[in-house]
Amino acid sequence: MHNLGAKVRSGKIWSKALDDAIVSYGKDIQIHFAGHGMVLFGNERINKFWRTKRDLYKHIHDQTLRYANKGYNMTEIAEFVRLPDSLNKKRCCRGLYGSLNHNIKSQYQLYLGTYDSNPAHLDELPPRELAVKFVEAFGGVEKTLEIGQDAYNKGEYRWAATVLNHLVFADVNNKKARELLATTYDQLSYVAECASWRYNYQTAAYELRNLNDKKPRDFSFPIEAIPMRDFGDFLAVHVDPNVIEGLDCKIRIEDTNNKESAILVICNSTINSRDGGDEYDGEIKGSKQDLVDIFMRKQKLDELIE
């Protein structure tokens, strides 16, 4: 099963594209190859595979909307909707990469957003504030830990994770809570069919056990390949708005490596990027990496002036 919910994609459109392929190429196709899958040979086998995948994504899409129209929210729908045996027993429909649970939620979110029409969810407390309130309501730290341990002992790992997650958010330095939550995630990872779920559980367990093992993020990637206008948008999402507060100007930036340029329109603590032009208030020239370092305050502008 593929993932419908990276950037959310419509299961209906996906299924129709597969059906169009069947109609257009089904009689002649002999070799199939695509990302996230093995090469297939033979007309009959490929057509069967295409039909199966078409029906998989359409079924997920349709059943999600059917229950959404009955008033169920995404969590409820993901809990009880299951694939028919004709799909579920096929290996290519198993949730080894994309999961049925997340794909259902993605289709709900595609049409209805993340809000489930329950007013209690309109303006929820942030995670830590909510956690502190929960721990207080449960009777304090020790009582919450006891509830979490009891849930773990009963094999109610999802409930244990919920309780202990609140406790860790309320008191991140509580080693007993962190270790028990990590062990709970271990158990959840053992039964997770979906690889991305399993890795999430295992990564979280590692981080809970190694709280001080904080490695700096590696932002290295080929920024030189980004077109200059898109590069301006890249800068915009990395700049602290407090740094540009009060500015109202147009800055021309030029990549000295390939002579591309763009105009950054800075206003209302926001950066908009447009193609280069003749109207601007100032100019900065340098490599794309130099420009990143300047706008992220890793390097001073005067250090680049020759």
Query: Is 295:241 a contact under the CB 8 Å cutoff?
Result: no
Of 224, 180, 225, the C-alpha closest to 205 is 180
How confident is the model over 208-217, as a mean pLDDT?
79
- Give the SS3 label for residue 32: strand
Cα 281–Cα 233–Cα 253 angle in degrees, nearest 5? 35
Max avg pLDDT among 127-131, 272-276, 296-300: 127-131
| 135-163 per-position pLDDT tens digit | 999 999 999 999 999 999 999 999 999 99
pLDDT digits (tens, 9 = 90+) for 169-210: 999 999 999 999 999 999 999 999 999 999 999 999 999 999
Q: Cα angle at 98 between 94 and 102, to 5 degrees?
A: 110
Indicate if the pLDDT at residue 119 is higher than 80: yes
**Domain boundaries in the chain?**
11-112, 127-209, 223-303
Comparing CA positions, the residue from 143, 146, 141, 188 lying closest to residue 167 is: 141
Choose the CATH number for 127-209 among 3.40.640.10, 1.25.40.880, 1.10.1200.10, 1.20.810.10.
1.25.40.880
- pTM passes above 0.75: yes
What is the token pair recorded at 125? 């407390």
Question: 223-303: which CATH topology?
Answer: Nonspecific Lipid-transfer Protein; Chain A (3.30.1050)
**Residue 306: is its pLDDT beyond 70?**
no
Contact 25, 65 (CB under 8 A): no
First and final CA of the chain: distance in angstroms? 55
Instruction: Count how many Cα atoms sit within 13 Å of the Cα of residue 9 in the half-sphere of its side chain.
Output: 14
DSSP 214-271: -PPP---S-GGGS-HHHHHHHHHTTS-TTTTTT--EEEEEEETTTTEEEEEEEETTEE
* Residues in a beta bridge with 41: 31
Minimal CA–CA distance to 172: which of 206, 203, 140, 132? 132
Tokens of 191: 């039964």
- Is 197 within 8 Å of 187 (Cβ atoms)? no
Please state the φ and ψ torsions of residue 215, each to the nearest 5 degrees: -90, 140
Q: Do 223-303 and 127-209 have the same topology in CATH?
A: no
